[in-house]
Amino acid sequence: MDQKISQLQQYIAEANQITFFGGAGVSTESGLPDYRSSTGRYKELERKGIDPKVLMSKRFMLNHPEIFFRRPDKESAPKKPEPNAAHYYLAKLEEARKDIRIVTQNVDGLHQRAGSRFVLELHGSDHYWYCMDCERKYQRAELTRDEEGIPRCPIDRGIIRPAVILFGENPDPSVIQKSKDTIAQSDLLIIAGTSLSVYPAKNLTHYFKGKHVVVINEEAIPTPKLTIDLFIQAPVGQTLSRLPNPLDTFI
């Protein structure tokens, strides 16, 4: 493993522009569940006979908002997640003046909270909500709910929903294009914590034409159109925490 960490450090040091392409596995060390691994949230729902594509769809939200927006009991409500070693390492790379650009499938905003400034969110954002009628924006803590537990805009009583991409909705075309351009312009692509099994993730990495591809994941992933130069089978935060502090290395 030490040899792989040294190789990763060398790739980072030599790269002029780095794209970090991350999925749910980047945030699992912050206490958030992953989705499509063998122990992920989707598999858990499927074992219960629930189709996650139905439960997490726009149609279900509109037809059954009282179920979609149901809150967990206070005893089981998760604590607010905090950035982990992976998020902080990437932010420090940018602080150390390395050109690191993040393309993420996550909606948790942990990269931004850690200090990263170039973050493209493929699936939208859960760190703000908006009224579906008037498009006023709200923080989660500001939400007021009706007698059925549905978040309502205090101005026009429209449903307030998270700014995430649900099943049945298309990603923002401008974000997709920026992600393609970012990946195509980079000379190092780090794919981390993702199964690369869903659109648009499984197609975007095909735009990479640079020097090196690194995969950091707890399971092997299919990359038929990419040559993998380095595969580290381990948690993302645990891996990046073994690298030298960028502020001591690149400044």
Which residue numbers are catalytic? 123
Q: Nearest Cα to 235, choosing from 86, 88, 134?
A: 86
Structure token pair of residue 15? 């790269």
**Calpha distance 139→230 (Å, rounded):** 40
What does the buried/exposed string (b/e) look like for 34-54 if buried means 16 or more CB atoms within 10 Å of the residue's CB? Answer: bbbbeebbbeebeeeeeebee
Q: Nearest Cα to 15, choosing from 131, 88, 101?
A: 101
Enclosing H/E stretch for 246: helix 246-249
Q: How far is CA 130 from CA 74, 154, 159, 177, in A?
A: 24, 12, 8, 24
Full DSSP string of 69-93 = TPPPPTTTPPPPP---HHHHHHHHH
